[in-house]
Each structure stands twice: as structure tokens, then as C-alpha cells.
Amino acid sequence: MDTSKEIYAHSITPQDSLFDLRLAEIWRYRDLLMLFVRRDFVAKYKQTILGPVWFFIQPIFQTAVLAIVFGGMAGLSTDGVPPLLFYLAGVTAWNYFSNCLRATSNTFTANAGLFGKVYFPRAVTPLSAVISNLIQFGIGLFLFLLLYVFFVFTGSTLRANSALLLLPLLILIMGFMGLGLGMLVSAMTTRYRDLQYLVEFGVQLLMYATPVIIPLSAVPAKYQPIMLANPMTGVIETFKYGFFGTGTFSWMLLGYSTGFTLIAFLVGLAVFNKTEKNFMDTV
């Protein structure tokens, strides 16, 4: 009897820990990860007339509408910051979080056909969405910095300060919060498709409960607890405070955002790992 053992290049073993991100395995599939990043980025405006120009047009129009409606018609405070700059700062930060959440919240349903044919670490798909949206965030940040420099040279009083050093932390919080919540929703969507629709309009509604449109300092006291409960409030307030030197900066508020992100990511990862074992039976 032949007792020799076959040697395999790869072996697929069940995932024991719910909190295992399998970073070593994801690293082995890094070429696939980068392929998905390119696919997500290029496919967004493929076969459009303006192509990548949409990466600039979208935040510009969004900012212009907010400035006209809320800054002009409603006369809401912007903490002394030029309205266009104030709204573009909020839009840039908020869009990164919301795009990550939207893109990762349909991982299982959108990729069911691919997942059923070939094995690769399933976490590669939502990670690629976060990275491709990070590139889009970089484009939006570049646009914001151009407008920022313009207002500085035209005499606006903008006091950038040391809180800007927290920008990498803010980017990590936005990305991981969107990733964690997205993985959680994606896992639950395999059974309850209603969540897809809830996320679409829920994200839009949630924006009005963040300092994207109105600074925290201008919110009436009786409504501030609602805005403070939003974990994105600390992120956007810190982002604006770092560039403008006005608004609210609180370590406690930023700590709440960080803690919420860690919990959301761990819960999302655990539910995602549990669901990937048998989602093909329900999706």
C-alpha cells in the first residue's frame, strides 16, 4: 500500500476564531486584492463621457447645493468659515465613511456568484472597497486643499493647528467604521434583504445628524445629545477643527468615536466570519 502523502501548494481549513482576519492569507492574495481595487475604482465611471472628472464634479455640486440651501437660504452658522470650504470639508469626510459603508454592505449578495465558484479570503472583497474609496477620498481631499489654499491667499482667517496630526487616525476611524458596519450589514442581508434599502436612505438621513451641515456649537442644547450620539460627530468636528481652528475638539468625543469603531469592527468581523461558512445556503 502506498503510504506516501501528497503535497499541496495550498490547503483550505475551517476558520476557528470568529475574530480571525487571516492577514497572512490576505497578504498571499494581495494581487487579487489590488485587482479588485482597480476594478472597483475603474468600473465606477467606466463608459461615462466625463470619466474620472466625476470624482471632482460630485463633491463640487454637493457642496454648492449645501452652501446655497443651508448657508444662503437658511442662514445656518458655519463658525466663521467660508461656507463653500466648511461644507466641502464635511462632504469630503462624510463621503468616505458613507461610500465605505455602502460598498461593503452588499458583499455577500453582490459577489455570491463569484464566491460560489472559487475560494479566496472573503474579507478581500470588502477590504478592496475600502481601499478604492480611500483613493477617491484622496482626490476629494486634494480638491479641498486647493480651495483651502485659495481662501488662505484671499485673506480668510483659517488657523490650521496641531489637531491636523490626527488626520491619519481620523482616516482609519472612518475606514474601519464603514468596514465594520458594512460587514455586519452584509452578513445580515443574506437573510434580510430589507437592510439594503435601510442602509441606502439611512446613510443619507444620518448625515443630517452630523456636523456636515451645521457645526456642533450651533446646535441647540436640547438636540446636542442626538448629534453627540453619532460616532461620526467627533471625527468630522476634529477634521474641521484641525484645518479651521474653530468648532469643537474633545478627546472624549474622539475617544467615543474610536471605541465605537473598534466594537463595530470586531462585531462586524465576527458575524462576517460566521456567515461566510454557510451563506450560500441562504443567499
Q: What is the pLDDT of residue 8?
A: 66
Sign of CA dihedral 41, 44, 48, 50: negative
Task: Give the pLDDT of the chain (283 residues) as one tens digit per residue.
Answer: 454 556 666 666 666 677 777 788 889 899 999 999 988 888 777 777 777 788 889 899 999 999 999 988 988 889 889 999 999 999 999 999 999 999 998 888 888 788 878 888 888 999 999 999 999 999 999 999 999 999 999 988 888 999 999 999 999 999 999 999 999 998 888 888 888 888 888 898 899 889 999 888 889 989 899 999 999 999 999 999 999 998 889 999 999 999 999 999 999 999 988 887 776 666 5
- First-residue to last-residue Cα distance in the chain: 44
- Give dist(CA 78, CA 145) in Å, integer: 18
Q: What is the pLDDT of residue 135?
A: 92
Report the phi/psi class of residue 212: left, alpha or beta, with left for phi > 0 and alpha for psi in -120 to 50.
alpha
- Phi then psi for residue 70, to 5 deg, are -90, -35
191 CB contacts (<8 Å, ≥6 apart)? 282
- Give dist(CA 235, CA 247) in Å, integer: 12
Helix (H, G, I), strand (E, B) or coil at 66: helix
- 130 in Cβ contact with 100 (< 8 Å): yes
- Range 201-235 burial, b when 16+ CB lie within 10 A, else e: eebeebbebbbbbbbbeebeeeeeeebbebbbbbb
Query: Where would I find the H helices in 8-123?
Result: 23-28, 30-44, 54-66, 83-104, 107-110, 112-115
- Give dist(CA 196, CA 216) in Å, integer: 30
Q: What is the pLDDT of residue 14?
A: 61
- Give dist(CA 84, CA 95) in Å, integer: 16
- Phi then psi for residue 119, to 5 deg, are -95, 135
Q: What is the pLDDT of residue 1?
A: 46
Dihedral angle at the C-alpha atoms of 77, 78, 81, 82, nearest 10 degrees?
A: -90
- Give dist(CA 95, CA 232) in Å, integer: 11
Helix (H, G, I), strand (E, B) or coil at 8: coil
Give the DSSP per-residue string, 192-256: -THHHHHHHHHHHHHHTTTTTTS-GGGS-GGGHHHHHHSHHHHHHHHHHHHHHS-S---HHHHHH
